[in-house]
Chain A
Amino acid sequence: MKKGLLFAAFLLLLGLPACDRGFEEVNRNPLEPTEVYYEAIFNELVNSLRLGWNRQLFLHNEMLYDLTELGAVTASTFGNIDAGVEEIWSNYYGALKNARELKIVLNELAAADPEATDLVEAQVDILMAYKTFQMLDFFGDIPYSEAAQAYAETAVVRPVYDDDREIYLGLLNDLRTASELLATAPSNTEAGNPYLDLGNFDALLGDDRGRWVKFANSMRLRYLLRIYELETSLVESEIGQLIVDGAPFLGEGEDIQMLPAEQGWSDLGVNWSFREHNRLRMGTTLWNFLTEDGTILDPRAPIFFETNTAEEWVPFPQVAPAGTPQSGGAPYNKDGRDNVYDNKGEENIYSSFNFYLVRDEQDIPEVLFSAAEVKFLLAEVFLRGIGTAKDESIASFRYREGMLISINFWKALVSNSAIWENQDNAIGAIQPFDVTGHPRYQFVFGAPEVDNLRKIYTQRWVDYFRQPWEAFSLLRQTDLLPREKPSNNFFRFKYPVSETSFNFENWSAQVARMGGDETNIKVWWME
């Protein structure tokens, strides 16, 4: 009996006391941090600027190139737009969540001197404005004010939709504030503290405040011009101010772009997106514009495209008559062509996009905002006299400058690419000045405004060759672009399935407000 009791007591001693001693330590997450540098969150925002794979395949290559006639889809598409849309949606709201978090972290960090975080916040605002404008142009109204608040103290997981015009105008306001702040900030805050900065965590612009200002101003120019007809007085006053102030814009060599080699990543998605569908080819619209009677006029043509297997330049008809043969072969197949460049496949009967442009994972940038575009935007401002006096000579100068910058930009890609071996002779042989002097390109003084505007828009369109989403916006903004196809009333993308499935009430309310979730509903600035 005694022994039994002894044993029982022993067991109790063994088991009972401190049954959870040390448990907290055991359960501490050993792999992920609870605190991070604010710069690391910013770095993630820049990282999120890389183009998604599905977006490139399903939206760019299968739809937007064909729609904007920068290319032609020669055989049927997967048509899985949802996958691309879903990717854009989660990329954007993931970034918005992190941007909101970054501001909270910054505010906590600089509780004593809130002003110290102003400049980083301005950079965040500029970056997020860039992403948000794209969302608005793709979809129209989107969840915004309540969006990406899942981690907020009063978490919202099913956000309402906001009016795209209000967001648009808000962003323009943010951009003005941000650029002014960055342009004018003294070296210390009023309290005498240095401003927080990003140092080498700014993979986009190297924490160069001047370039952030230029990026913001250039963006303002683009989006103000987009809404000129609807918000004329606002646009005139804003642009007028920019011109009067001599505000800095992106200049040659200051393109905003993601650079795989410099940023230490490989752009694997671009080749995948071409390889996977494999049916995107050169179309007649862009080919006809860049050539004359089959002779290459513009050195960008053999940079954008290459000959077919038979080494001929054959565009696919943008509007293909019945019986037009399809394209086959595998001109984007890196397995096949890395070793044998000419291995494009027998059935590759049309000119494809240039293999190197979509194969080089290292040295071909993803362009976010080109310096050339800025020149075209300024050309439009002066041609039309928006917020400033009409001035054909400035317009002409900026226009020509834009073309030269663009041609040089694309030519530089070829020389910068380590793997670009097989160059078409036209690239080196054709001098940019000769191209800009061609009547098709040349600004005509005294000609009707619309004729010169058509040229400016068309050059912007050409320069958008790897920014088909911007070409899509431009196409909706004007009817002055070269086209062979009739309009198909494709004005926006439908909301993703994740919204209809998991945000059904707000989505339904939004759809009711818009009169449907169809692609022929115009975004606000088209109205």
Chain B
Amino acid sequence: MARLQLRGLLVGLALLLVATLTSAQVEIQGTIKDKNTAEALFGATVLDLDSEAGTTTGLDGEFSLRVAELPARIRVSYVGYLDLEMTVAGQLPIELYLESDAVQLGDVVVTGLGIKRQKRELGYSTDNVSGEQLALSNAPNVINALSGRSAGVQVVSPNGVDGGTTRIVIRGNNNLTGNNQPLIIVDGVPIENPPGLTDIGRGVDWGSAINNINAEDIQDVSILKGPTASAKYGMRGANGVVLITTKKGAVTKGLGVEYIFTTKVITPFRYRKVQNKYGAGGPISLSEPAFETNADGELVYPRDVHSNNGPFGRPPTAQFGFYSPRVSRAPEMRGQMVRWWDGELRDYSPQPDNLQQFFQNGTTNTHNIALSKGGEFGSIRTSLTYQDHEAVVPNSNFEQYTANIGSQLKISDRVGAELSISYIKFSRKNSPSLGDDNNASFGKGILYSWPRSYKGLERALNINPDGTRYNYDGNYPFQFTPQHLWWNTFNQNTYLDRNKFIGSVGLNYQVTDWLVATARTGIDYTTNEFETRNNPVDLFGINEARYARELDQNIVHNSEALITATKRNAFDLFDVSLSLGGARWHREQYGLNASTDQWVNPWLFAFSNYSGQDLNRIPVAQEIRFEKKINSVFSFLNLSYDNTIFLELSGRNDWSSALPVDNNSYFYPSASLSYVLSEHLNLERLPVDFLKLRLAYAKTANDTDPYQLDFVYNINTFNGNQTASLPNTRPPSELRPQQADSYEAGLTIGLFDSKINVDFTYYQIESYDQILESPVPTSSGVSAVQLNNGVLENRGFECAINYNVLSKPNGYLKAGLNFSSNQNTVVSLGDGAQILEIGDIWGDFGPKIMVQEGQAYGTIYGYDYVRHEGTGQPILNEAGTHYQITDNLVPVGNSAPRLIGGFTLQGRYKNFTFSALVDTRIGGEIYAGSYVIGLQTGQSPETLAEREGNGLPYTDPDGVTRNVGVILPGVYADGTPNDKVVHYYHKYLPNAGGWGKILTTPGILENTWVKMREFSINYDFPSKITSKLRILQNLNLSLVGRDLFYFYSALPDNINPEGAGGAGNAQGLEWASFPSMRSISFRLAAKF
């Protein structure tokens, strides 16, 4: 089938070529240029009004048109310019200048499938970011660079380092459990962009595929918001579309060679604030903390704070839940000599820099060389890019080679072709483990395991002179925590090799002046190869060694064709255009992986190296498979009246292979209306010179992952035989597509001669028939059932205000503000489902992202205080030591922001340009695990208060009174306020961790921040200077700072407000996050 369709497409393209052989009698020639800049206009339409024959201009703006006879009446039109009609009398080449259409607000946008339209016409919201801007911002990837630049677009880079995953969501989450990220299209090819890490709690983040798209090769990026985009891209566009167009070359002066060098230094800078007064040791009594001494009378490094005979009559862990013994609650660090755990005598003194020991400055260097040429044939650009990156953590780096060719070919007057090919070779060594990973997470080690007196001796100790792993004896005090972190960091390596090829070819055939046909086919081909080598820890070269390898191949084919018939001035002032198209999408993935960790032969990293003692651990290849096909037909009808009222109607039918045969075909329509009111209203008295109303409706549908229709068993082996078990999630009895209805209304206003432009959009999206997994009690035999009728609703607004503050010949100043707010409600989970789990770190024992009907997506659940009915105060026990905790997880917060926004300022003065971007998130909460653990471990500066004697007088069991007491705020069960002074342990210790029922509420904090996202300054050398160096056409230097600082963050102690884990749908849990990082880049661009 695949081959047949491809062949069909090729035959079609051949037909297009044959059809160009047409003839007429007289040929007129000319050039079309912009009236202001005199730049040649590529792709302008020239129409013979008598015969209705037409052509388009080439790259140099030239055209030739055969007409029946002279004089001929022609019309020249180009998107964004006023039409020009004239009579041509002679055959001499003519030069025509088009005037830009100011009231169109200047914008021409790509709306998908290669269709360019005036922004004036659109009934829905789009945004554009130029490639220049992207390249200048030197963000870790293209998506990161969009942060703060477009209303309603939320970009989250989860905790991690450069090269990690990025989550982008436009207009909130429309799927309860599925993918909520927009479709990314590069030159018409939909790119698979699986997030590298979705687990909110832990994992290694290998990054999103979008990281591999080279910013220097991008011409521009269009963002199509909301489901209206799915009329063009079907269900995969239901979350919006990010359209990336790569550079295709141009007519250039000089050699057409450009060289760009960028160097970037990434600095971790915003470390968690900690106290530096008290070191390791914990609550073994309510008396003043003291060192134990050994037989020689020496002070001994504190070892364990667990005790049956602790101050509370019960072990402290039973009292407060599990916590690491490595708390910083011992005597003051005064440089006293202490017998360390390894037997050495060392000073016990503050280690203010011990949070930084894992981090270093990272660097990224990028070299890009591009050759560009334009001419009669069209244009071509080819570029080579090399990037190398040294991470901010040790033993991690990556490098990437990108070769790119982009070309626009003018095959004949009527036929054009577009070609784009990228080959990417990406190699990465290691990516740090994040969150709650016991074996390799430094985030966890720093937060949780190592006290303020921690000297980091392990870094030097981890490897013995003979290359074996250092063995800590039983006295090692950190044995509940990853003692071999440093060994693991340097000796357990995983290498990723990725080869990626993105290619597309498109043909454009102007069949007649009123009929255009386009066809495009493209491929996104990726292979990933992971190799893991865990070095053996012993001299035998066998123990704890591991070898694993994974090969993964992912192929996406996409082909589409579209014919568009246009009739201008039909029925006088009406323009009509009708398009018909079809598309075919096919994704195939196949992967193999296996590992061996029961070795026989030393240092042999091979699958053949296994002992076979444990049948379950013989390396057996696991397979990964994915195959899905979607076929589509679609049609658009565009009507415009007097260039003032625009109506677009679309219909699309998709067939998905992932759905049952009787439910796999679904139709969805859309309609959008745009009315330039200012043409018809008398606004003379108002400062309004442009006013447009937009209305849009779209329906979309979405399928699901493949292979969900068969009733299958999970199979495994035991005792050398197969085992079979019913899956833990019961599949739905039938599957149908998930659907969404979206409505959008907008207003565009131009004020004061369009100096100020305001764009406002209100939208509402109702998603239904949602496929989701609902948890059920395991006593049912399964842990979840899959349902297919959840309903959720998003509504919100987006607003963008742009102000051209100044526009002078030698400079300008522009300011922009965008903000948006989205409100989400889960209307129904369907079929009596009670709750939906989206993500968690510690299962039922800690905070979770869950949702119930009527709540908003992103609700954080946890154990809350039990509050007194009358006073609303939390209830304490009679001793005033403990709060009552709810039996179950209950809603304690919501992670969705109330408002997100960005402020941009751009300006030029003579040869200097600058740009600044501030972005913000207002409202919404986060479970800041680092905060509560900082309190519990006594690392947080806040915990000093009572220890420094600023508490209430408290008498310990030895009868000693010190000012270390607190009264926990709350009431007793009868409602009378608590007035008992208790040891401060009761204030700080009990609320952290995910180990048993522990109060979640104290960790729920507001997460509002305002960030200096980007500042760049750029200098163009004057041509006076560059022309002296004859070969040099242009020289540009720029300096860019990214993620520079926070103007404000509501989170205490410098906890990373953007440090939530994973790029999955669960957002809002922070735990052991890395410090914030900023980068400074220097960029040099020279054209020859």
Contacts and interface: CB of A to CB of B under 8 A. Distances in A.
Interface of A: 1, 3-4, 6-8, 10-16, 19-24, 26-34, 36-37, 39-41, 43-44, 46-47, 73-83, 86, 89-90, 93-94, 96-98, 100-101, 142-143, 147-151, 155-159, 200-201, 203, 260-266, 278-279, 309, 320, 322-324, 326, 328-331, 333, 335-336, 338-339, 343-348, 361-362, 496-504
Nearest to B9: A14
Contacts of B615: 264-265
A323 B844 CA distance: 36
Contact of B996 (A80, A98, A343): A80
7 contacts: A4-B515, A15-B584, A24-B657, A34-B712, A37-B724, A40-B724, A76-B317
B315 A31 contact: no
Given A148-B781, A503-B777, A264 B475 contact: no
Contact of A147 (B632, B706, B724, B780): B780
B306 A346 contact: no
A148 B515 contact: no
A14 B563 contact: no
Contacts of A13: 8
A26 B633 contact: no
Nearest to B477: A328
A417 B703 CA distance: 55
Given A76-B308, A348-B474, A502-B835, A43 B723 contact: yes
Nearest to A96: B781
Nearest to A97: B781
Contacts of B9: 14
A41 B996 contact: no
A279 to B, nearest CB: 7
Given A44-B723, A80-B996, A320-B308, A329 B5 contact: no
A7 B996 contact: no
Nearest to A99: B781
Contacts of A20: 631, 655, 657, 661, 664-665
Given A94-B781, A150-B781, A159-B779, 15 more contacts: A1-B512, A3-B19, A3-B511, A12-B580, A16-B582, A75-B307, A89-B778, A97-B781, A150-B782, A151-B782, A159-B777, A266-B617, A346-B473, A502-B775, A503-B777
Interface in B861-881: none
Given A26-B629, A27-B706, A265-B615, A93 B309 contact: no
Interface of B: 1, 5, 8-9, 12, 15-16, 19, 303-304, 306-310, 314-318, 321-322, 471-476, 479, 511-512, 515, 517, 537-538, 543-544, 561, 563, 565, 580-584, 613-617, 623, 625, 627-629, 631-633, 653, 655-658, 661, 664-665, 706-707, 709-716, 718-726, 728, 730, 775-783, 785, 834-835, 843-845, 887-889, 995-997
A89 B779 contact: yes
A14 B782 CA distance: 45
A80 B845 contact: yes
Contact of B995 (A10, A46, A80, A498): A80
Contacts of B723: 40-41, 43-44, 47
Contacts of A265: 614-616, 718
Contacts of A339: 471, 538
Contacts of A96: 781
- Report, nearest first, the 8 A-B pairs whose CB atoms are least far apart: A345-B474, A76-B315, A15-B582, A97-B781, A264-B615, A329-B474, A148-B781, A203-B719
A84 to B, nearest CB: 12
Contact of A157 (B304, B322, B561, B776): B776
Contacts of A34: 710-713
B655 A19 contact: yes
Contact of A94 (B321, B657, B728): B728
A11 B581 CA distance: 7
A500 B888 contact: yes
- Most central of B322, B722, B889 by chain A CB within 10 Å: B722
A245 to B, nearest CB: 33
A24 B715 CA distance: 23
Contacts of A47: 716, 718-719, 723
Nearest to A502: B777
A123 to B, nearest CB: 15
A322 B309 contact: yes
Contacts, number: 351
Between B580, B712, B782, B835, the greatest number of chain A beta carbons within 10 A of the residue's beta carbon is seen for: B782
B724 A36 contact: yes
Contacts of A97: 726, 781-782
A44 B783 CA distance: 18
Given A7-B563, A323-B309, A26 B780 contact: no
A32 B153 CA distance: 40
Contacts of A361: 614
Contacts of B730: 150-151, 155, 157
A43 B306 contact: no
B1031 to A, nearest CB: 48
B829 to A, nearest CB: 12
Given A15-B582, A82-B845, A93-B781, A27 B707 contact: yes
B474 A150 contact: no
A333 to B, nearest CB: 7
Interface centre among A76, A147, A264, A278 (most CB of B within 10 A): A76
A265 B706 CA distance: 33
A80 B993 CA distance: 12
A309 B625 CA distance: 53
Nearest to A346: B475
A281 to B, nearest CB: 12
Contact of B512 (A4, A100, A159, A500): A4
A75 B315 contact: yes
A449 B39 CA distance: 112
Given A3-B511, A77-B315, A44 B718 contact: yes
A41 B664 contact: no
A55 B580 CA distance: 63
Given A26-B627, A29-B712, A80-B322, A93 B512 contact: no
A29 to B, nearest CB: 4
Contacts of B781: 93-94, 96-97, 100, 147-151
Identify which of B709, B712, B726 gathers the most chain A CB atoms within 10 Å of its CB.
B726
Contacts of B303: 328, 347
Contacts of B722: 36-37, 40, 43
A148 B779 contact: yes
Contacts of A83: 843, 845
Nearest to B861: A501
B534 to A, nearest CB: 14
B310 A76 contact: yes
Contacts of A320: 308-309
A27 B627 CA distance: 7
A28 B711 CA distance: 10
A157 B832 CA distance: 10
B725 A94 contact: yes
Given A20-B655, A98-B725, A147 B779 contact: yes
Contact of A498 (B584, B778, B997): B778
Nearest to A348: B474
A139 B707 CA distance: 39
Given A14-B12, A158-B776, A503-B777, A203 B304 contact: no
Contact of B785 (A1, A37, A82, A157): A157
Nearest to A21: B1
B835 A36 contact: no
A355 B19 CA distance: 85
Contacts of A82: 844-845, 996-997
A326 B664 contact: no
A96 to B, nearest CB: 6
A24 B632 CA distance: 17
A336 B631 contact: no
B721 A331 contact: no
Contact of A156 (B321, B561, B631, B780): B780
Nearest to B580: A8
